[in-house]
Amino acid sequence: MDEYKKFVLSQIGIDRYVLRSNSNKNNNLNKVINEDVLIQIPPLKKNINKQSESNQIVENRQKPLNWQTLTSEIKNCQNCILSKERKQVVIGTGDLKPDWLFVGEGPGAEEDQQGLPFVGNSGKLLDNILLSIGLERGKKVYIANAVKCRPPGNRPPILDEIAACQNYLHSQISLLKPKIIVAVGKTATVALLGDDKTPLGKYRQRHLKFQWNNFSNKFLEPNQPTIPIVVTYHPSYLLRNLNDKIKSWEDLVLAMDILNKQNNG
Ligand code: SF4
């Protein structure tokens, strides 16, 4: 491992990876990659405001979506109660032709203020995590959240809110066409996999697939290729659970290996 990588890893609190890696000669990452676990993605059960104008636009759209229309819809959205107290919606940031899509939970106070995802301490950690695998915010990377408006008091979004916003996230994926998606945290995993029962840890270190045809969205293009998903911990969680940073890095190494395999395949 070169000195720069050691430095970057130390910035995210990982300084023991070499020892651990050496002690595990039978590293099973490759075996995991070949597992190719196929996950069906049902739309989440929705309990959204049927009278909402923006929701009707989403439901009734027949033509393919474009980014401008989508962002305008999200900015005006009142599909769930989170619209009441937001300062602004946080749609996402980054390269609109990304290889990587990172999906987090929802805006916190600082994100709500700035209109950007992952600012503050968790944002700094995410930036360092990106650096540790040779990525940089904005270059081949797009960062979004499962819900676009801040839950009051920084509580996690409830299932109805995740479901209300799910169309927007899936529409972003449809337009961005990333080569790989990294779900950071439980909320993102629920929004992407449609499963709120399974603990996040059960999805870690698995090559999951995001299947377009399973969506109910009328406006998605048919026969879009599947996109790999890797699940890992949210930076906010990692700030409180320092020992799990190594696991998060292992998840991203898995994601890199999947992407490399895909690019070379
Ligand atoms: S969180 Fe999503 S669904 Fe709810 S109001 Fe904001 S944009 Fe609309």
pLDDT digits (tens, 9 = 90+) for 109-145: 999 999 999 999 999 999 999 998 899 999 999 999 9
Q: Is pLDDT of 215 > 70?
A: no
> Average pLDDT in the 242-254 region?
92
Q: Supply the pLDDT for residue 64.
A: 59
| Ligand 1 lined by 162 (C-beta under 6 Å) | no
> Average pLDDT in the 85-99 region?
97
Residue with tokens 């439901």: 59
Q: How many angstroms is it from 148 CA to the middle of ligand 1?
A: 6
Average pLDDT, the chain: 80
Q: How many angstroms is it from 65 CA to the middle of ligand 1?
A: 18
Q: Is pLDDT of 163 > 80?
A: yes
Q: How many angstroms is it from 107 CA to the middle of ligand 1?
A: 11
| Higher per-residue confidence, 258 vs 54 | 258
| Higher per-residue confidence, 41 vs 200 | 200
> Average pLDDT in the 234-256 region?
93
Residue type at 237 in one-letter notation: Y
Which is the closest atom of ligand 1 to the Cα of 77?
Answer: 8
Q: Supply the pLDDT for residue 122.
A: 93
Name the CATH code of domain 3-264 (choices 3.40.470.10, 3.60.20.10, 3.10.400.10, 3.40.1410.10). 3.40.470.10
Quick: pLDDT tens for 30-86: 333 334 444 444 555 554 344 344 444 444 444 557 899 999 999 999 999 999 999
| Higher per-residue confidence, 259 vs 6 | 259
Q: Supply the pLDDT for residue 200.
A: 93
Q: Residues of the chain with pLDDT > 90: what percent?
A: 57
Question: Atom 3 in ligand 1: which residue has the minimum CA distance?
Answer: 165
Quick one: pLDDT band at residue 212, thresholds 50, 70, 90? low
Q: Residues of the chain with pLDDT > 70: what percent?
A: 71
> Average pLDDT in the 167-195 region?
92
Choose among 238, 228, 198: nearest CA to 38: 228
Give the integer Cα–Cα distance in Å for 180 and 227: 6
Q: Supply the pLDDT for residue 50.
A: 42
| Higher per-residue confidence, 19 vs 192 | 192
**How far from 232 is each of 71, 116, 202, 226, 253, CA to CA, in Å?**
27, 21, 10, 19, 11
Quick one: pLDDT band at residue 247, thresholds 50, 70, 90? very high
Q: How many angstroms is it from 197 CA to the middle of ligand 1?
A: 22
pTM for the predicted model, two decimal places: 0.82
Q: Supply the pLDDT for residue 63.
A: 53
| Ligand 1 lined by 83 (C-beta under 6 Å) | yes
